[in-house]
Structure 1
Amino acid sequence: MSDKQVVEYPGAEIDVQWDGRLCIHIGECGTAAGELFVGGREPWCVPDGCSKAEVREIIERCPSGALTYRDKDGGPEVAPAENIVTLAYNGPLYAHGELVIDGIPEDLPGVSHRAALCRCGASANKPFCDNSHLAAGFEDFGAVGERGAPLHALGGPLAIKPLADGPLLVKGNLSIRAASGRLAWEGTETALCRCGASQNKPFCDGSHRAAGFKSD
């Protein structure tokens, strides 16, 4: 893989882009069966190595938005019908939906549908995860105690606003899944902890103030 921050992999029908600013090496790409991604090969990604439909499906597996595509004949990536935030075991929040993340540069197209958001407080790339939770020893197994209120509709824009020195304020139709995969919470507005100190994870309980959390 190239050391460049953003790498383009052109194909006849579809192009793939990898953005190192977002990649946390989950490996959904490298472990995918087929010839799209092959470790040690140069180039690592060959969009013509499989069908266009396979390219789209594999790229959309990337939970951080580091991988995106440009379909030369088809439409762009479509937001899923439901907005879901999944808690990773001792790791970030994986957001998948029609994401509208406040303050994010326009040159990060992948995070309009997929993003890995820091919840340990240690990332140097806030609001995104950069795997700092590993060195920080962040521990949260991804259980959710609250239930919220049943949704009357699914999907639609999910506004995510990182508050200065505070939580992620989320507005829109949202389902939260525990790390076990359980549908745990539903609602249209909540504040999600990103300092790592809340006693009511994944929700903010104001602990960021005592913890001296800084978002910059």
Structure 2
Amino acid sequence: MSDEQTCVDFPGEEIDVRWDSRLCIHVGECGKAKGDLFVGGREPWCLPDAVTKAEVREVVERCPSGALTYRDKSGEPESPPTENRLMIASDGPYYLTGDIQIENAPDDMPGVRTRAAICRCGASKNKPFCDGSHEGAGFRDGGAVGDRGRGLQSTGGPVVVRSIKDGPVQVEGKLTIQAGSGRVAWQGENVFLCRCGASKNKPFCDGSHAAAGFKSD
């Protein structure tokens, strides 16, 4: 599929916005933002010049999947947060923010370098990314976390996301995991997370992917 078919650009005087349909899971952070940057039913849907450049950056960076990105014409890129954090959405994906390096991610998905929604139900057709399939699959998990991890002496730095074939997703680097309740629950530097939806020890992998016949392709 070509870039023109999957991405839509919205040019502005000082800053451009791009929407990538491959990553959008319709959380609605953009449409519910106050102001006239994004207005449903309007053509074009996004008008970067309707608000300040600072507002464009702030609203676009709310997008948890990386489907929305911007190109600031001053050359200032989006900066990753100082802490790598993975939030477990109740009945939904892992929302990861930080200095992200997703192995084998396409080069034309710049949004996932700081923000990504990672599938944890096993049903996505766009693995490792969430595509909203958890709703139709009836996936249920509130995002409770039992283990505390080894802890961290510092935060930040790159975090590498590696999809193990027919198995879990490995996250290597300094990471804080936030439970579905909002609680900071786990901290460490290497973790294997369930992405088949079958683990009895969610969010952690317990090997259930083998018995479940999970296929990552």
Consecutive unaligned residues in structure 1, runs of 5 or more = none
CA distance in 1, matches of 2:105, 2:151: 30
> Which position in structure 1 is the counterpart of 2:25?
24
> Which position in structure 2 is the counterpart of 1:212?
213
AA in 2 matched with 1:59: V
Displacement after TM superposition at 1:5 (Å): 1.6
Deviations 1:53-76 (A, max 9, x none): 000000000000000000001410
AA in 1 matched with 2:14: E
> Which position in structure 1 is the counterpart of 2:97?
96
> Which position in structure 2 is the counterpart of 1:78?
79
Consecutive unaligned residues in structure 2, runs of 5 or more = none
> Which position in structure 2 is the counterpart of 1:50?
51
Matched, 1:128 2:108: no
CA distance in 1, matches of 2:165, 2:5: 30
Matched, 1:200 2:210: no
Kindly, what percent of the aligned residue pairs are identical?
64
CA distance in 2, matches of 1:4, 1:23: 14
AA in 2 matched with 1:97: G
AA in 1 matched with 2:172: K
SS at match of 2:189: strand
CA distance in 1, matches of 2:136, 2:37: 32
> Which position in structure 1 is the counterpart of 2:157?
156
SS at match of 2:100: strand
SS at match of 1:15: strand
Displacement after TM superposition at 1:149 (Å): 1.5
CA distance in 2, matches of 1:157, 1:28: 26
CA distance in 2, matches of 1:135, 1:34: 32
Deviations 1:113-171 (A, max 9, x none): 00000000000000000111111110101110110022011010000100100101111
CA distance in 2, matches of 1:132, 1:39: 23
SS at match of 1:44: coil
Deviations 1:8-45 (A, max 9, x none): 00000000000000000000000000010001100000
TM-score w.r.t. the length of structure 1 is 0.98
CA distance in 1, matches of 2:147, 2:174: 16
Displacement after TM superposition at 1:195 (Å): 0.3
CA distance in 2, matches of 1:108, 1:5: 11
> Which position in structure 2 is the counterpart of 1:143?
144
CA distance in 2, matches of 1:93, 1:187: 16
AA in 1 matched with 2:11: P
CA distance in 2, matches of 1:10, 1:148: 44
CA distance in 1, matches of 2:181, 2:13: 40
Over 4 Å off, 4+ runs: none
AA in 1 matched with 2:28: G
CA distance in 2, matches of 1:60, 1:7: 17
AA in 2 matched with 1:186: Q
- State how 1:103-118 maps to structure 2 within 5 Å: 103-118=104-119
CA distance in 2, matches of 1:5, 1:79: 25
Displacement after TM superposition at 1:214 (Å): 0.2
Displacement after TM superposition at 1:189 (Å): 0.4
SS at match of 1:205: coil
- State how 1:171-210 maps to structure 2 within 5 Å: 171-210=172-211
Count of matched residue pairs: 214
